[in-house]
Amino acid sequence: MKSIGVRMIHSLYEDGGEGSPSNPLKYKDQDYMQLKESLLKEQKIFCDETFPPNLDSVGELEGFTEKNLQQIKWIRPLELNPDAVFVKDGTSRFDFQQGHVGNCWFLAAVGVLTFRKGLMTQVVPVDQSFKDNYAGIFHFRFWRFGKWVDVVVDDFLPTLDEVPLSVSSTCGKEFWALLLEKAYAKICGSYKDMIAGNPPEAFKDLSGGVHMSYKLTTPLPDLWDVMNRAVQSKTMMGCGSFTGKKGRKINAKFNLVGGHIFAVTGLKEVESSGKKVKLVRVWNPWGELEWNGDWCDTSDLWETVRDEVRNQCVKEREDGEFWMKMEDFCTYYEEMDICCDSPNFVDGDEACLWNCSVKEGRWEAGKSAGGSDFSAKEFWTNPQYRVTVKAVEGNQKGDKNVLLSLMQKPDEEHRSEVTYHSIGLAVFQVPPKTPKGRLPPSLFENQEPVILSDFYDDRELIEFHCLDLGEYLIIPCTFDPNKTASFIITVYSKTEADLE
C-alpha cells in the first residue's frame, strides 16, 4: 500500500510547539515530571487536589442511591493487588471490561486504539510503573480541540466492596485502562460526565484524526471497500446498535445489547461451501454477551471453511468478540464511524497527501453571531475564512477534493452540562481579483452559496465536497443568530489550501 497521510500546513501548533504531540499542554497547569521529581525527593505519594478521591469526582451515577454512593471507597492499585502492574505483556482490548459507568462509547474507542501501537504510546506513555520510582502519580495524553494535553492523575480508584466501580482489569492486576479512564473522567468533569456519547467524540479525543459517519440502514454500495481501506489505513472503527423497541427485539433474539456502542476490530473474506462470504469482527466492551447468529463462535458455518481459517478466526471464549456476515452487520447495527489520520479511506486515493489547515474562532452574540439566513444583513457579521482550491494531478472533475470540519469548543467545565448549538457552513465563490481582507455582502448579492451544509446540534460537523478551482469564502454559523460559542474550523484539501 502506498504511503498516505496529512501534511499540516496551518495548524494551531507547529511541530514541537505548544500543544503538539511532542509538547502537549499541561492540563490544570500540572507538570507531571516536576510533580513526580518533587514527590520522589520528599518521599510522598501523590493525591490530586484537582480531581480528589471523593464523591464530587464520581458524580451522581445513574442507578446509584445515596447509600450506594456513600459506600464507594477510593483505593490504590497496590492495595487492591500487591502484584499490580501498569501494563502486562502489552496493551490489548481484552485487558479490561466495562463497569458501572455507561461509557461504552469511550471504551470501544480505547479497544480499537490498542491496534494502533504508535498512537497508543502517545496516549498511554508506557514508562510508568507501580515499582520503579513509584509515587502514586500517572499521566495520559488526549487531543482536545486542536491541541494535545497531558493529564495528570493520582492512582486512587473508586471501588465498591474493593472491586473497581467502573472499568476493571480482566486479569485483576493490570491497571493502565483503569487509570486512562480516570484521566478522561477528569477532563470530562467526573465519572458521571462520561455517561452517554458517540464514537466520533472519543476517536477524536484519542487521535485528533478525521472521522466519517455511515448510516447502515442505507449502506453505501462500496461500504465493504471503504471498510477494507480503513483497516489498511490503520483507522479506528465503531458501530452502534438500535435503541428502543427494535433494539430490545434484536437483543432478545441475537444477544446484541441495544443502544450500545461496539468496536469493529477486523474484516475477513472467507470461502464457505464454494462461495465468498464477507465477515466483520465486532467487540463488546462489556467483555461478554456476544452475537449468537450466523458465524458466531459456536456456529456450524465455521465447519464449511478451511481448517486454518477456522483456527485463525474462532476463539470459543466469552471475551465479547465475535464475527458476523456483512449483511447481518448492516441489518442489526444502525450506524458506523471511522476515524483516521487522513481521509484517504473515503475515496481510495491512496497516493494523495492531504493538506490540513486549522483555525480557531468564536461567535459572540450581538457581534459575530449572525445566524444561518444568508439573505439577512446580520449573516455577514459571522466569521469569514478564505481558501483557494488549486489543481490536483490526476483529479477528475466531480471528484470530492475538500473535507470541511466545524467543531464546537464548549466553555463549560463539565461535559454533561454542555449544550451544543445547531451549526453549519455556507461556502461562496469569491469573484476574481477580489482584494484581501473581510468581504462585504455586496459582493454576493446575486449569488447563492455553492455549499450550504446541513445543520446539526453535534460537537462536530464534517462534510466531504467537490470544489472547482478558485477562491472561496467559508462562513461558519449557528442556525439561530446571537449564540455565543468558540469553534475550530478545519479544511482538508487535496491541494495546498491556505485558510485565511
Q: Whole-number mean pLDDT of the chain?
A: 90
Residue 419 makes CB contacts below 8 A (sequence gap 6+) with: none
486 forms beta bridges with 362, 409
Query: Directed axis angle between helix 176-188 and helix 104-113, to 10°?
Result: 130
Decide if pLDDT at 2 tops 50.
no
Per-domain boundaries in the chain? 15-194, 210-340, 352-493
- Low-confidence winner among 4-18, 139-153, 358-372 (lowest mean pLDDT): 4-18
What does the block give as the cell for 64? 446509584
| Model pTM score | 0.92
In tens, the pLDDT along 436-450 reads: 888 888 888 888 999
Percent of the chain's residues with pLDDT above 90: 70
Average pLDDT over residues 81-108: 94
Average pLDDT over residues 188-210: 94
Decide if pLDDT at 397 tops 70.
no
Decide if pLDDT at 500 tops 80.
no
DSSP per-residue letters across 50-73: TS-SSHHHH---TT--HHHHHT-E
Q: Sign of the CA dihedral 457, 166, 207, 410?
A: positive
What single DSSP character describes residue 378?
A: G
Average pLDDT over residues 115-144: 95
E strands along 180-274, which residues? Answer: 210-215, 236-241, 261-272
Query: What CATH number should be reported for the domain whose range is 210-340?
Result: 3.90.70.10
Q: What is the pLDDT of residue 13?
A: 53
Q: What is the pLDDT of residue 398?
A: 63
Sheet holding 470-478, edge to edge: 385-389, 470-478, 423-429, 451-452
Please confirm, yes or no, whether 421 is among the known catalytic residues: no
Burial-class residue 469 by CB neighbours within 10 Å (0-12, 13-18, 19+): exposed
Decide if pLDDT at 336 tops 70.
yes
Percent of the chain's residues with pLDDT above 70: 94
Q: What is the pLDDT of residue 15?
A: 64
- Low-confidence winner among 1-10, 67-76, 395-404 (lowest mean pLDDT): 1-10
pLDDT band at 351 (very low <50, low <70, confident <90, very high): low
CATH topology agreement for domains 210-340 and 352-493: no
Decide if pLDDT at 3 tops 60.
no
Q: What is the pLDDT of residue 349?
A: 65
Among candidate residues 103, 104, 382, 401, the one labeled active-site is 104
What does the block give as the cell for 477? 454559523
Please confirm, yes or no, whether 100 is among the known catalytic residues: no
Decide if pLDDT at 455 tops 60.
yes
Decide if pLDDT at 316 tops 80.
no
In tens, the pLDDT along 472-499 reads: 999 999 999 999 999 999 998 887 667 7
- Taking the C-alpha atoms of residue 369 and residue 379, their distance in angstroms, rounded to an integer, is 8
Among candidate residues 251, 284, 344, 382, the one labeled active-site is 284
Q: Which residue has the higher pLDDT, 283 or 9?
A: 283
What does the block give as the cell for 444? 454576493
Fold of 352-493: Jelly Rolls (2.60.120)
* Residue 46, helix vs strand vs coil: coil
Please confirm, yes or no, whether 395 is among the known catalytic residues: no
Q: What is the pLDDT of residue 494?
A: 80
Question: Residue 216: how many CB atoms within 10 A of its CB?
Answer: 18
What does the block give as the cell for 108? 470501544
pLDDT band at 93 (very low <50, low <70, confident <90, very high): very high
Among candidate residues 100, 139, 211, 260, the one labeled active-site is 260
Q: What is the pLDDT of residue 10?
A: 41
Decide if pLDDT at 350 tops 80.
no
* Residue 496, helix vs strand vs coil: coil
Q: Are 235 and 345 in contact (CB under 8 A)?
A: yes
Q: Which residue has the higher pLDDT, 74 or 222?
A: 74
Q: What is the pLDDT of residue 348?
A: 64
E strands along 61-164, which residues? Answer: 73-75, 96-97, 137-144, 147-154, 157-160, 163-164
DSSP per-residue letters across 411-480: --SSGGG--PPPEEEEEEEPPTTPPSSPPPGGGGTT---SEE---B-SSEEEEEE---SEEEEEEEEESS
Q: What is the pLDDT of residue 229?
A: 87
Average pLDDT over residues 2-15: 46
Decide if pLDDT at 9 tops 50.
no
